[in-house]
A and B are shown apart, each in its own frame.
Chain A
Amino acid sequence: MLGKIKWGIHPDTHKSPTEGKAIESNELPNRVILPVQQHIGAPSVPIVKKGDLVKKGQLLAEAKAPVSSNVHATISGKVVDVSDQPHPVLGKCQAIAIESDGADEWAEGVLIERDWQKLNPAEILEIIKEAGIVGLGGATFPTHIKLAPPSGSKVDTLIINAAECEPYLTADHRIMLEYTERVITGIQIIQKVLGVSNVIVGIEDNKMDAVKVMAHAAAGTGIKVAAVPTRYPQGAEKTLIKTLLKREVPSGKLPLSIGVVVQNVGTAVAICDAVRNGIPLIERVVTVSGGAIQEPKNLKLRIGTTFAEAIAQCGGLKSPAKKLIMGGPLMGAAQYTTDVPVIKGASGILAFAREEVNDGPESPCIRCGSCLDACPMGLNPSMLSILGERSFVEEAVNEYHLFDCMECGCCTYVCPAKRKIIHYIRYSKKMSAQKGGK
């Protein structure tokens, strides 16, 4: 059959500025801004007020809704504000601002050493929930829910996503090299919760050092480590599942429906820290890179550190940033200010110099077909962009499967007519939602 054999794109990886650099521990931020919503689901509800003194690891905002996540203090100090603040994804969001007292003291009741082997799955899930852990690859879905499949669904495979297919980002790469033991323990804890023995760690083959280190560490544990071809978006759940298992997730369904759960490596580390050492999710590894950054680095940052402070820790900007991005260059969100905080899902902070912004003026589609070749979902992005341009939303939804699009950006990356295909797709999705379609 002349079906599609290829999908995805091969952009320059731009990983060399940071892939060889060890993760640096942060200087203590003077101030952190902690939005009550850093995850998919309902916002958490603040339980502190302005003027309260808080300590590191103390619960600040509680998950009340079923799909939500706790937020903890990431430094010790004083709550100076509970108000709307700039948010890297939502624009504005209620947030708790803490000014550091410089002591960096832990709260009571955290830092409990536990023997995780003696815990049962329900206890582990409770700890994960308490610790406010969400998917750290960027999707930020609350982990305690992802790891608790509804009764009746059977999980046969756990995939640990370490593809890190976005250009520039090297945080997961460094995590595997430097936190190897915690990654493995985290995976074993997840295995215990889900009760699965089949585990595969998928790593893109541009990180063979990580593949070797992980394979060595995994020896004897039954955890498999697989090098997958470097190709964006290899690290998207659906494509990684297809690559590793030759299974496809049915449209509109979760990987769970075919017995698969995917977790990011960074999340595995957070789980290990929470379950074994009682540390809630208060910091994460962030790659700070891009042509405008003086000295690109992998930083371990407290959640809530502002982008401005993170960039300052990398020597500041060497040229004016033309674009500031949270996340990777293909799926990340552009920022208009450096006052936004690092949230749980921030895998990278990228500041692009003028010459890195190689966007051109848009012209009509010349029907070259490149976007169809690139789309990992087998969609017709050309048609979706044209329908979006003309606001033919229903046709896009019903005949061109608008909602199958995972907004990976491949189509827009390859388009020689520089069409902002994703923009039209997002617009159509929004219009459809407004009409009450989905």
Chain B
Amino acid sequence: MSDDIQKEVAPEEAVQKEAVKKAAAKKEAVPKEDAANEVETLDYMIVSSSPHLFDDNSIKKIMWTVNLTLAPAVIFSIYYFGLQALITLLAGSLSAVAFEAASQKIMKKKITIDDGSAFLCGLLLAMCLPPAVPIFVPIVGSFIAIVVAKHSMGGLGYNIFNPAHIGRAALMVSWPVLMTSWTTITTAADVTTSATPLNILKLQGYEAVVNTFGSQTELYKALFLGLRNGSIGETCVVLLTLGGLFLIYKRIIDWVVPVTMIGTVGVLTWMFGGTNGILSGDPLFHMMAGGLIIGAFFMATDMVTTPITRKGKVIFAAGAGIITVLIRLLGGYPEGVCYSILLMNCVTPLIDRYIQPTLYGRGEIG
């Protein structure tokens, strides 16, 4: 807070003190008989700017609700990928909490680990890692996410980039092999594979993807239910979507974001994703594969790093969708959700600068 504000606040405190003194003085001065008539006041009353009534919503409530909505997908991933996944998830989320406490302690700030934001950040980071990474990977990732991407920027509210994605991107660069070593799974068609569907698509083409899973229906089923290779938390489309729907219902996220982002990816991959010219792609596959669902519901909706207006959110989501498709179809990486969101994070301040809400009484409506 600036000094000026301090000064502004000061008179209110002075008034409070005066009230305390006054109340005290009154208690002494008033003779016993009259004391009954005197309204029994107070030790001190709070004097502050209106309003005097507040909604019981809080950052803590928001963050823990999001954590909770991720729980089903988390539980599924532990069931599907085993103990390895559990260790990675715990290492990621708990170390994030520890790093947050340490950062805040060092910077002599109030420790706010109970608000759930560090836990959420660590959890999301771990959910975007391959299941069998060594335990130091999620810990280093959380360090980068919390210390570098979050607290060096000023803490919750001031970070420009989604900290979980920064953590993941840094890990990608540092340990590219570890970060792309997937577990081995057996598909419904009895094929053992240790590649993700998008990997197969990039290296061997769409036919190979379908063959790995037996048929197109089996492929869709595997994607929808999460019975495929990929990062720990990104696979189970159905549980992630249900979690996202709950957040929409709770008004924590705006439905326009996932709808726009997933829709953009669907339309663009349908138009340009096929090998037989325009409109021959498989939009369903692209919408359910990779980290799009978790990204669209849980990362592109991060309040701090995405635009504040609804129009801005639509632009952000569409941009992220376009970049995702560009990377998937033309880039060197099989998956582009993480980078697309980070890139759009860069332009968020710009979007917010130009997109403002519709004003009352300035001739914009009616």
Q: What residues make up the interface of A, taking CB atoms closer than 8 Å to B? A: 2-4, 9, 11, 167, 238, 242, 246-251, 253, 308, 311-312, 316-317, 320-325, 329-338, 350, 352, 357-360, 363-370, 372, 375-380, 382, 388-391, 400-401, 404, 407, 409, 412-418, 420, 422-424, 426-427, 430-431
Asked if residues A251 and B361 are in contact (CB atoms below 8 Å), the reply is: yes
A residues less than 8 Å from B361 (CB atoms) = 238, 248-251, 253, 377, 404
Asked if residues B46 and A357 are in contact (CB atoms below 8 Å), the reply is: yes
C-alpha spacing A324/B304, complex, angstroms: 36
**Contacts A336-B19, A416-B59; is A317 near B40 (CB within 8 Å)?**
yes
Asked if residues B360 and A376 are in contact (CB atoms below 8 Å), the reply is: yes
Q: What residues make up the interface of B, taking CB atoms closer than 8 Å to A? A: 1-2, 4-5, 8, 15-16, 18-19, 22, 37-43, 45-59, 61-62, 112, 154-158, 254, 256, 303-304, 306, 308-311, 314, 356-366
Asked if residues A338 and B39 are in contact (CB atoms below 8 Å), the reply is: yes
Asked if residues B50 and A422 are in contact (CB atoms below 8 Å), the reply is: yes
B residues less than 8 Å from A9 (CB atoms) = 55
C-alpha spacing A376/B52, complex, angstroms: 18
Among A337, A360, A363, A364, the residue within 8 A (CB) of B19 is A337
Asked if residues A332 and B365 are in contact (CB atoms below 8 Å), the reply is: no
Asked if residues A365 and B157 are in contact (CB atoms below 8 Å), the reply is: yes
B residues less than 8 Å from A372 (CB atoms) = 308-309, 357
Residue of A nearest to B306 (CB): A367
> Chain B's nearest CB lies how many Å from the CB of A265?
23
Asked if residues A250 and B362 are in contact (CB atoms below 8 Å), the reply is: yes
B residues less than 8 Å from A336 (CB atoms) = 15-16, 18-19, 22, 45, 47
> Chain A's nearest CB lies how many Å from the CB of B14?
10
Asked if residues A3 and B358 are in contact (CB atoms below 8 Å), the reply is: yes
C-alpha spacing A363/B48, complex, angstroms: 17
C-alpha spacing A426/B55, complex, angstroms: 21
Among A248, A332, A357, A375, the residue within 8 A (CB) of B357 is A375
> Chain B's nearest CB lies how many Å from the CB of A424?
8
C-alpha spacing A320/B27, complex, angstroms: 14
C-alpha spacing A338/B26, complex, angstroms: 12
Residue among B49, B59, B358, B362 with most chain A CB within 10 A: B49
B residues less than 8 Å from A363 (CB atoms) = 59, 112, 156-157
Residue of B nearest to A427 (CB): B8
Asked if residues A334 and B4 are in contact (CB atoms below 8 Å), the reply is: no
Asked if residues A308 and B39 are in contact (CB atoms below 8 Å), the reply is: yes
B residues less than 8 Å from A365 (CB atoms) = 157
With contacts A336-B16, A366-B304 known, what are 6 further pairs, Cβ within 8 A?
Answer: A2-B256, A334-B46, A368-B62, A375-B357, A413-B54, A416-B58
C-alpha spacing A350/B314, complex, angstroms: 43
> Chain B's nearest CB lies how many Å from the CB of A402?
12
Among A11, A322, A331, A430, the residue within 8 A (CB) of B42 is A322
Asked if residues A413 and B45 are in contact (CB atoms below 8 Å), the reply is: no
